[in-house]
Structures are given as structure tokens and as C-alpha cells.
Amino acid sequence: MSEPSADPKSAVRTLYLDHHGWLLSRLRRRTRNHADAEDLTADTFVEIVRSRVDPLSLGEPRAFLTTIAQRLLYRFQRRAALERAYLERLALLPEALAPSPEDQFLVMEAIRLLDDALSTLTVEARTAFLCNQLDGMNHEEIAACLNVSVRTVGRYIRLAMTCCYLAEWDT
């Protein structure tokens, strides 16, 4: 590792220089795509800067980098799966009904926004919301599926709607 410095920018720079190649190689193996690995590597270091963690205080910098990169990779893979599912559904539509590329982009952005908002919820709250909104299930049906009270289902759905509403205002 390079000589430590008291300057935070210098510390991040040192962390980057010491571990960038290693992290890029690791992510390239996981993604099997150099461009995606480059993006995820850059995003990992951006997260470190945003977190305001002192790189000099890290006892195991590679473990820290791996944790951040894994979280970003998981989000990347989840979004790719959502995009594939959306595109598969679009392929089933007659060409005359297919949205324009601009509308497709806007829909994908909305899906990403909702995914981010719903990812903050518990599995039960997310499931209740999706069963209600996508499957049209009523509160009683959801309560039976989740083995919770109807009142709890209502609370889950209100919480999910609040998350979606707040996500809309954050953009």
C-alpha cells in the first residue's frame, strides 16, 4: 500500500490507486462485461467519497470495497432483470401498440424509481403492495397469503404508497 496521507482526497486517491485494478478485475469476472465492470468500479469509489468514510481508518480496505461493490452489483443485476422482463413483455405486444423508444425509456426510469423505493421496505410490505397493485388482490386475500391481519396489510400498503410518493418528490 502507498504512503498514507492526512488529506482525505489524497487518502481516497491512494485507495483508488492501490485497489482499482484488483476491484475492476473482480467485477469483470462477475459481470463478464468490461464496460459494466468499469462503471461498477467507478460507482464503488464514488460511494466511498459520498460516505465520507476515512479510507485511512479501514483495516481491511478490500473487504470494504467488496461490500460496496457487491451491493452495487446486486442493484445492477436486479435492474437488468427488471429491464429484461419489461422488454420481454413489450415483445409480446403488437407493433402498433408498442410504445415509442422515448416512452420505453420513461417507463424504465419509472420502474427503476419504484424498485429503489420498494427496496427500502420489508419483504412482507413489498409483497402486500405488489399483490394489491399488480395482482389486484384485496386486503383479505393478501392477509391470508401472508398470514397477517387485514389491518397489517393496510399498514403495509400505506407504507409502500408513501415510499413511492416520497420517491416521486425526490426526483
Question: Dihedral of CA 22/24/29/34: which sign?
Answer: negative
- Report d(CA 15, CA 7) in Å as an integer: 12
Q: Which of 18, 49, 81 is the endpoint of a domain?
A: 81
Q: How is residue 53 written as a grid cell?
A: 468514510
Instruction: Indicate whether 69 belongs to any domain.
Output: yes
SS3 (DSSP) at 33: coil
pTM over 0.85, yes/no? no
Q: What is the CATH number for 129?
A: 1.10.10.10
75 and 103 inside one domain = no
pLDDT in tens, 19-41: 999 999 999 999 999 999 999 99
List C-alpha distances in Å: 171 to 101, 105, 121, 162: 21, 16, 19, 15
- Report d(CA 41, CA 23) in Å as an integer: 7
pLDDT at residue 6, as a whole number: 59
pLDDT cut 70: percent of the chain above it: 94
The pLDDT confidence band at residue 171, using thresholds 50, 70 and 90, is low
The pLDDT confidence band at residue 152, using thresholds 50, 70 and 90, is very high
What average pLDDT does the segment 125-134 reach?
Answer: 93
pLDDT at residue 4, as a whole number: 45
- Report d(CA 127, CA 121) in Å as an integer: 9
Instruction: Indicate whether 113 belongs to any domain.
Output: yes
115 and 53 inside one domain = no
What total number of domains does the chain contain? 2
Task: Work out the angle between the directed axes of helices 8-31 and 61-92 (0-180°, nearest 10).
Answer: 50
- Report d(CA 145, CA 141) in Å as an integer: 6
pLDDT in tens, 82-116: 889 888 988 888 988 889 989 999 988 888 888 88
- Report d(CA 21, CA 50) in Å as an integer: 21
pLDDT cut 90: percent of the chain above it: 53
Q: How is residue 118 written as a grid cell?
A: 420498494
Could you tell me which residue, 170 or 50, shows the higher pLDDT? 50
Instruction: Indicate whether 146 belongs to any domain.
Output: yes
14 and 73 inside one domain = yes
pLDDT at residue 2, as a whole number: 45
77 and 15 inside one domain = yes
Instruction: Indicate whether 1 belongs to any domain.
Output: no
68 and 126 inside one domain = no
Q: How is residue 45 written as a grid cell?
A: 469509489
